[in-house]
A and B are shown apart, each in its own frame.
Chain A
């Protein structure tokens, strides 16, 4: 079959984009449009579903099928759609408030069910659309419109939540590193099962620079670590530092002090998420924050496959349903 070759611009809808100038969302949108043509899925077979928030305007800008749904519930809409239309490629676009606060319940349940969809969580650690209240990922002590004396909530890490739900694909990237973001989005799309991608996204209006330590090119090498499957964990401007597993915790070491063989080798395919969870818990400023694919486990059945498999096997076992047979099964009587 000869599929027409699509260009990124073919995925752009005719709607004006309404994000603030300089918002990190633009970069994510651009990467998505770049990645989609490579996946070989026609536009009409691609669906974007979002919740509510700045990020959730995303579907309006894509020339695919789309639904801008209600706050926090996008995974639930996706569940109904993908269960009945497994032929579609379904993306969920969400944010830190949408996925982790109002939609926390749906977020964990879609992950544990391993529905074959891709979730992109734009994490800007703030409520942008409602103009600047703190979010579930805001840092402790953060001063916002709703926390004038500083936030007293402990922040939630989407990666930790996803790993606790035993999600089969868990990754992180950022708006500022476009090549890396493109790579991660592509891998998420290729994974069979729920893929969660957390994207550090700068909200330059209400939380500017909140993740500058990771996003700024100069600071990035010291404060983040790029994960690669089968490779030792090495970071630093001079690639002079590494991560070592000591007992039940991870520590930063100087490569000059420690043999490379003693560094932790990243294993994204390990079924047991314990070490991946340790990676997810590495936080600035104590530790470099992991970027890339933390977990990519294949072979776990997907919800959509199984719900449809049950229909197929019921039909094999009992034959295509016959209503008149159903109605007259059991005790009936005839009135003449």
Chain B
């Protein structure tokens, strides 16, 4: 295979239309897969090494194998296109340029797990892309590759429906259990796990949740073969990724490239380098929830989960945010804190209160009213949130804030007052009526 094949976003004009898609081999992967047994399909996906593209990198074939083989209740597939993680804008490309790839992947996944219906959850802000996806689903129904007619088309006793569901503006709906509550018609509060979705998911039925890119990658596995696919990219994290690069680069955008490429190559060769030839101060490698990297540590870093994990961060959604030397790190951290505070659903105290306090304290630091104890206060709030909440939004807030403070403490120190501001400290504690008078040591 050529280097960096375009498997998920082929560069073919009008590929979004059913006729162009099929003229270029579209739905052949489904034809192939639907002739195999369900276990063979799952094993093929396992062998490909595909890992989820929604942020957590969970092995996809393994996830599919968690679904009960026999179930009295119907089984569902929820395809996660909430895509609200700041810095991520890749799934949108699939809705616009390869919606049939997503449908075909859904058919294969659905067949492998015996799914009754797949729901594609698309964030509300993507009005246009919801329409792109709905048009493609309508086309697929008309062509007889989805729904009851697919039995005749593929010559098998299996039929599945696909529906598009439009969100209405809430980052938390990307969390898989929140997504299920949202789709069921309740407030989108994340649920406790266990029970896991494969046991109790949508409408109380076994459900698998996968990211849009994950599902859109599945046809490629059957087209090129699992063993060929597994050879692509980095060991332990095979395949191609849709890297979404934004911030201070000359050519931001979504690029499909193999996993494990050098971060510096991605920025220099693919994205045309940093704007105005500036130096890089910081990079967030995989969407705003991931701990940042310093500009002086990116040399030689490879963009795959295993490599990034060693550096204390993650590939996440592969949304790479590049910040040049003039970037105000405190302001960026404050903006991130504001985001998580705004998006916390409010169920867990550590997340609801912690995110609020982190934003308040960072605001104070940004204004120049903070003290150096505030930095330790922030770190302790991060520690108190992480691991103590129902869903991972809490962790997603703590990681980048802790990361920025630990890696750029000098920038924060430069903004805080050298002398302790008693007044500022008292503002915090004064809010609690029961607060004891503070005693300061020198």
Asked if chains A and B come from one complex, the reply is no
Q: Which residues of A contact B (CB under 8 A)?
A: none
